Amino acid sequence: MYFQQFYLSCLAHASYLLGSEGLAAVVDPQRDVEIYLDEARQQGLRIAYIIETHLHADFVSGHRELAERTGAEILIGARADAQFPHRPVRDGDELQFGHCRLRFLETPGHTLESLCVLVTDLERSPEPWAVLTGDTLFIGDVGRPDLSPTHTPQELAGMLYDSLHKKLLTLPDSVEVYPAHGAGSLCGRNISVERRSTIGQQRQFNYALQPMSREEFIHMLTSELVERPDYFLQDAELNRRGVPALGELPPLPPCTPGEVLARQRDGVVVLDTRSPAAFGAGHLPGSVNIPLSGQYASWAGTLIGLEQPILLVAEDPERLAESRMRLARVGIENVVGYLQEGIRSWQQAGLPLAEVPQISVHDLHAALLKQPGELQLLDVRRPAEWNVGHIPQAVHKSLIGLKPLLYTTPDSHQNPIPELDRDRPVAVHCKSGYRSSIATSLLRRAGFTKVLNVVGGFDAWETQRLPVVKEAAPSCVS
């Protein structure tokens, strides 16, 4: 039996290809499906089945295109109300091709239609050796229970407890666990960087699987939910219908600097995909920086959304194409053009550039000591990161909480972050410098003129053994 995990770092998304005797199944495919077609071809396999563990909320699936290109049958939970040709799957249903036997478990909780897939290699043993857990069980975590428009988080959390304890935790400890997401995904609160585990290891080390009552589990899982991005429910609906093939997207038109200015006045968001250092050195005033190097599409979906028209700034044609591809993976298709020849054309037109100075952790520490209360420090990490440790003088506002800044103009009298004074300098940090650069661009766009990006973020601060508070402080705001 052939088994392969594909991991898409920019979305922290894992998908799978399973094959035997010339046939194959793809589980939870990403939108750009060429990787599965190429791998199946190399392995001498024909993709006959496409399995969705649930209606994904954080990315757009390629199930429709993959089915159209291969003739494969799509299998999805019966409760998904899928609006494309499919086989509805119920608890205990099985699928076999060659020596590969798949048995489906209905595991509602993350979503109503969630499935887990038990994998048996009949050449190896008549018993399952692995379980594909979708977003029901992660490595070190479980799926968030707030993705249903019809059920409360408490109701879903109760279902998830039952699914974990009545289905997954009844499996032998040796069964390997392969989830649909890894560290960084917003589908869980603190997912491990590991990409596989076992039921036994999760039973021992996963905080959500420790002995507790159903009521305790529900309270634990719903009391500190990370804010849900607005685009999650939209992506789930797109996946319920199925989206067109990527090849159907029209080509992007190039825009001159003058055209970009006119588009900005009409409300188009200029999205700069360059590195924090390049953006800090010079960028279009009012542009938003989401570097292509990190979880670019997830943050674009979270902060900008699916409907807002976007115009891209990239370093070269290759990065421009990659930028658009990644946006399409989360359902962002309203890209109206790009700045022709990038930032160079803006400079050649004699138009002004804005800057975000970079500051080292040593200089930050010195400034905080020299002028206490003068320099504001903003920590934009997640609450779980803040609670593990933070800089004493910092105010906490997670990056997702800065979304209102996108719609705040510099001349607005309303300050959506009352914890910060617009007229005083503010240094921004995250874990490594990626999210903080996004935050500085939003602050500049909203009229904060004295903004600094902390190079290396909290990691660099800790590496230099500078002062850290190891417990949550009263200044923490969600």
Q: Tell me which DSSP letter residue 283 carries.
A: B
Q: Look at residue 474 and tell me if it is in a domain.
A: no
Q: Look at residue 341 and tell me if it is in a domain.
A: yes
Q: Look at residue 237 and tell me if it is in a domain.
A: yes
Q: Look at residue 471 and tell me if it is in a domain.
A: no
Q: Look at residue 313 and tell me if it is in a domain.
A: yes
Beta-carbon count within 10 A of 361 CB: 22
* Domain-terminating residue out of 323, 348, 373: 348
Return per-residue pLDDT of the chain as tens, 478 residues. Answer: 999 999 999 999 999 999 999 999 999 999 999 999 999 999 999 999 999 999 999 999 999 999 999 999 999 999 999 999 999 999 999 999 999 999 999 999 999 999 999 999 999 999 999 999 999 999 999 999 999 989 999 999 999 999 999 999 999 999 999 999 999 888 888 899 999 999 999 999 999 999 999 999 999 999 978 888 999 999 999 999 999 999 999 999 999 999 999 999 999 999 999 999 999 999 999 999 999 988 999 999 999 999 999 999 999 999 999 999 999 999 999 999 999 999 999 999 999 999 999 999 999 999 999 988 899 999 999 888 999 999 999 999 999 999 999 988 777 777 778 889 988 999 999 999 999 999 999 999 999 999 999 999 999 999 999 999 986 443 333 3
What element of type H or E holds 388? helix 383-388
* Domain-terminating residue out of 348, 378, 398: 348
- Contact (Cβ atoms closer than 8 angstroms) between residue 355 and residue 280: yes
Rounded to whole angstroms, what are the CA distances from 24 to 54, 60, 71? 19, 22, 12
Q: Look at residue 212 and tell me if it is in a domain.
A: yes
Residue 398: which CATH number? 3.40.250.10
Q: Are residues 147 and 30 in the same domain?
A: yes
Q: Are residues 44 and 146 in the same domain?
A: yes
Name residues whose C-beta falls within 8 Å of residue 187's C-beta, 6 or more positions apart in sequence: 57, 58, 110, 135, 138, 143, 144, 180, 181
Q: Among candidates 145, 52, 59, which has minimal Cα distance to 104? A: 52
> Whole domain around residue 404: which residue ranges?
358-463
Q: Tell me which DSSP letter residue 267 carries.
A: T
Q: Are residues 9 and 158 in the same domain?
A: yes
Q: Are residues 45 and 189 in the same domain?
A: yes
